[in-house]
Amino acid sequence: MTRFAGKRVLITGATAGIGWAGARRIADEGGELVLTGTNPRRLAALRQALPEAQVIADDAADPDTGRAPADAVAEGGLDGLWLNAGYADIGAASELDAEFFDRMMRVNARGPALQLARLSAHLNEGASVVVTSSTATYEGSPMATAYAATKGALVAMARGWASALADRGIRVNTLVPGAIDTDFRAFMPDRTRENFEHDVLGRVPLRRIGTPEEAAAVALFLLSDDAAYVTAAQYAVDGGLTRR
């Protein structure tokens, strides 16, 4: 397949997990890549693995997030933008403090909003934007209230962006991954992570955790011309967890 031949796609948070899986496949399908991340070791590995890609250090928590990528794509613009960078943590609602909440909001909500604001002028007519949310938005987990709030904010913003950019033929859709086999839950103690995954598996009709490649495949569909009449939509990749 060459769905992305002649197209330039920017992926934030591309050094691991779903973003990394998507970057590999876009490269295989002929796309030009601009990739961002924060971890120096992973950025170096990304440059080695995808030498044709433009790799940029950009932190979604930084007030200047999006400026360096915008400079990089100013000439030629973008045909696809995948706002995928994110940060997860858990905690009881009764123990929430301002720093915990604000950090989550900086990375997961403010970051993508600033990135979209700074990159929107460089989106070519007919471009596609994909925003990575989470099934946490709908699960009602007692330990993920702040995380769910940030991911729910993305859903709301993406719908507004779809309206704002429609006059330019630009589509905006939301990817809603459930339990995917990435290192996104690496911050959890081993036992907590095992209990979490056991609980989730008990509620997933397909009775397994998804792969990064499966989630990325849906994002790439939305980024491609195959989804030319799809906008303001949410696509759950969760094995049926949320029944959406």
Active site residue ranges: 147
CB 162 within 8 A of CB 204: no
Measured CA to CA, the distance from residue 164 to residue 123 in angstroms comes to 13
Q: How far is CA 212 from CA 130, 150, 205, 228, in A?
A: 16, 21, 18, 24
Cα 226–Cα 155–Cα 233 angle in degrees, nearest 5: 30
Question: What secondary structure does DSSP assign to 79-102, as a single string?
Answer: EEEEE---------GGG--HHHHH
Measured CA to CA, the distance from residue 34 to residue 56 in angstroms comes to 7
Residue 235: CB partners within 8 Å, gap ≥ 6? 173, 174, 175, 176, 218, 222
Measured CA to CA, the distance from residue 138 to residue 224 in angstroms comes to 27
C-alpha closest to that of 167 among 116, 126, 117, 121: 126
